[in-house]
């Protein structure tokens, strides 16, 4: 075997799954390119040319003026910092493929991204969430919960004896639920009527696990909670009526409703369960052998499930993949959207036509069209730069009109 | 490159078509892991796109891409050896289904996979990424003589393997 033969053989070698990898990478690379800020070429403006000429002239007098004095004189005389144009579009401008606005938590602030320049709402933020129509947000930090408008004006503040977490505004905007210690607290949207959620006839308040509660869309204020006995409890938040109590998947990660309130998805580490309008179990699907789920969400239509998966024994920073599967059907009909390391922030757009995946390793958000046969992918790069160089966590995507 | 910098997506497509096979193949031959190879090559391209404005337009993209692919593939392989990932292939099949029957080059590729990482790397850098011994030495921070001796031993091993298979 000579060297040309070796070269040719290696270049012809079959790579497992090469065609699929190429197609996925092509979409991602083109999306990354499309997401770049507008190209700018720095032109030599008259001010800069004048400054250069003056620098030469003054530098020739440097023996008497001195270099730092020269720089100061040029700078203050021409006010260069103000006059040199920067044509680059503001980094904060993000055109979200699904429309609407993202609510992003960087720890020291909440950020509203989309539909214009990013808006920062300063203040230590453990978790944050949208109100029903995106006019307000709820922020929790330590033992405090606050409702604010989108300009950052505090509408009301409550403080509790225990740590507050997992705030969730009801779809009609009239109720707010959050976890205080292990109990669930309910208030009206204006902050009045704060009380612990207690099942009717029970002696004590409902105890919950640290999993976000989920309001059922519909005319009543019904809240799905994973209680301390690992059951999914659907309870009327106004009168305490216990509507369902169902077995939850082991190690439940999330609960999500379809927009019509007729389907509830519970995703656990090892399985996902889909429930119908009366709490009947529609399907149970286990994670594929050797894998586990790390996140999952039901689409607003209730027809698709987005899942993030990794190897069963993988540690943090491991490779994950993101798949889209028909709700209630076997995972063999899955559509693999993406695979990579350091993924997170799995979230459907308000219309369900796009799916957001955070790709932290390259500081980007990926957006995938979800319709069958629609292979569009968008990428928003330099995410941390758009939110003041913080570490962004997407905690809400609110309120857009349908976009093609 | 200039067209890509100006925002021409067709130019990016051309760059992708020109360099993806080389990057993906090199990453796979070094890591022997289809999923990792996809990640490494994809991340190299995305990093290149992110840095497009900073590229000197008189230079070519290829050297930059092959350097980052080689470095990441080597790092990945070393890290994986340290972690002893026993079930990676089971998960990897989801993202990168295995291909069909073995092709004619499979024996050589299998023999390449049996080489030590140090020798495998120099073969891939030389014959897939078309790097000179001096460039390989620079990338691996080794003397050129060491690169040449690793190459010679690697080729001897591959020839012996081929002869054993033929014989």
CB contact under 8 A, B20 and A32: no
Interface mutation target, options A312, A339, A377, A381, chain B, most CBs of B under 10 Å: A339
103-142 in B: which are within 8 Å (CB) of A? 103, 105-106, 108-109, 112, 123-124, 127-128
Taking 90 as the threshold, does the pLDDT of residue B110 lie above it? no
Q: Are A121 and A152 within 8 A, CB to CB?
A: yes
Shortest CB distance from B12 goes to which of A6, A33, A314? A33
Render each residue's pLDDT in chain A as its tens digit; 404 residues: 678 888 888 888 888 888 888 888 888 888 878 766 555 444 444 444 444 444 444 334 333 333 333 333 223 222 322 222 223 334 455 678 888 999 999 999 999 998 777 889 999 999 999 998 899 999 999 999 999 999 999 999 999 999 999 999 999 999 999 999 999 999 999 999 999 999 999 989 999 999 999 999 999 999 999 999 999 999 999 999 999 999 999 999 999 999 999 999 999 999 999 999 999 999 999 998 889 999 999 999 999 999 999 987 766 667 888 999 999 766 567 888 888 888 999 999 999 999 999 988 888 889 999 998 888 888 887 788 788 777 899 999 998 543 33
User: Nearest-5° angle of CA B108, CA B27, CA A331?
Assistant: 100
Assess B82–A contact: CB distance below 8 Å, yes or no: no
Say what the pLDDT of residue A332 is. Answer: 60
Q: Are A324 and A305 within 8 A, CB to CB?
A: yes
Of B67, B9, B167, the C-alpha closest to A32 is B9
Interface mutation target, options B50, B51, B57, chain A, most CBs of A under 10 Å: B50
Say what the pLDDT of residue A389 is. Answer: 72
Say what the pLDDT of residue A328 is. Answer: 75
Q: Are A292 and A315 within 8 A, CB to CB?
A: no
* Residue of B89 and A210 predicted with greater confidence: A210
Q: What is the pTM of this model?
A: 0.64
Q: How far apart are CA A27 and CA A353, in angstroms?
A: 17
Say what the pLDDT of residue A78 is. Answer: 27
A185 CB contacts (<8 Å, ≥6 apart)? A160, A164, A177, A178, A179, A194, A195, A196, A197
Query: Order of strands across the sheet with A127-130?
Result: A127-130, A136-141, A144-149, A154-159
């Amino acid at each position: 075997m000579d060297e040309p033969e070796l070269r040719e053989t290696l270049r012809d070698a079959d790579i497992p799954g090469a065609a699929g990898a190429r197609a996925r990478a092509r979409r991602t690379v083109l999306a990354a390119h499309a997401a770049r800020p507008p190209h700018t070429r720095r032109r030599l403006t008259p001010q800069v040319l004048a400054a250069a000429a003056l620098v030469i002239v003054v530098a020739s007098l440097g023996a008497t003026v001195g270099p730092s004095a020269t720089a100061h004189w040029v700078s203050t005389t021409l006010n260069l910092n103000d006059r040199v144009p920067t044509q680059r579009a503001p980094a904060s401008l993000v055109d979200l493929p699904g429309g609407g606005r993202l609510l992003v938590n960087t720890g020291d602030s909440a950020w509203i991204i989309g539909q214009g320049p990013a808006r920062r709402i300063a203040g230590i933020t453990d978790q944050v969430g949208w109100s029903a129509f995106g006019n307000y947000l709820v922020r929790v930090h330590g033992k405090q919960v606050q409702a604010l408008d989108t300009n950052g004006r505090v509408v009301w503040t409550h403080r509790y004896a225990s740590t507050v977490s997992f705030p969730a505004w009801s779809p009609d905007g009239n109720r707010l639920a959050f976890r205080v210690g292990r109990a669930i607290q309910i208030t009206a949207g204006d902050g009045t009527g704060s009380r612990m959620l207690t099942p009717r006839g029970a002696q004590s308040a409902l105890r919950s696990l640290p999993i976000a509660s989920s309001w059922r869309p519909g005319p009543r204020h019904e809240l799905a909670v994973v209680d301390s006995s690992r059951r999914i409890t659907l309870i009327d938040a106004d009168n305490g009526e216990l509507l369902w109590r169902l077995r939850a998947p082991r190690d439940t990660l999330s609960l999500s409703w379809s927009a019509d309130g007729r389907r509830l998805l519970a995703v656990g580490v090892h399985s996902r369960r889909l429930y119908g309008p009366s709490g009947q179990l529609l399907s149970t699907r286990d994670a594929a052998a050797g894998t586990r789920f790390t996140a999952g969400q039901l689409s607003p239509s209730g027809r698709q499930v987005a899942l993030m998966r990794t190897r069963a024994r993988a540690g943090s920073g491991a490779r994950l993949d993101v798949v889209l599967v028909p709700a209630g059907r076997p995972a063999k009909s899955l559509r693999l959207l993406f695979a990579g390391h350091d993924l997170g922030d799995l979230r459907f757009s308000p219309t369900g036509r796009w799916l957001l995946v955070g790709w932290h390793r390259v500081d980007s958000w990926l957006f995938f069209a979800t319709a069958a046969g629609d292979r569009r992918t968008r990428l928003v790069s330099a995410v941390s730069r758009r939110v003041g160089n913080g570490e962004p966590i997407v905690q809400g995507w609110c309120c857009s009109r349908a976009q093609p | 490159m200039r067209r890509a910098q100006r925002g021409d997506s067709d130019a990016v497509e051309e760059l992708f078509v020109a360099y993806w096979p080389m990057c993906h193949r090199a990453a796979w031959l070094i890591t022997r892991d289809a999923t990792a190879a996809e990640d490494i090559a994809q991340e190299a391209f995305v990093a290149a796109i992110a840095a497009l404005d900073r590229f000197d337009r008189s230079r070519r993209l290829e050297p930059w891409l092959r350097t980052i692919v080689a470095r990441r593939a080597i790092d990945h392989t070393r890290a994986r050896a340290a972690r002893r990932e026993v079930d990676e292939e089971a998960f990897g099949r989801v993202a990168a289904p295995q291909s069909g029957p073995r092709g004619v080059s499979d024996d050589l590729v299998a023999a390449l996979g049996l080489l030590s990482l140090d020798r495998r790397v120099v073969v891939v850098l030389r014959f897939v990424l078309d790097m000179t011994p001096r460039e390989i030495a620079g990338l691996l921070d080794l003397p050129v003589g060491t690169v040449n001796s690793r190459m010679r031993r690697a080729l001897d091993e591959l020839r012996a393997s081929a002869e054993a298979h033929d014989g």
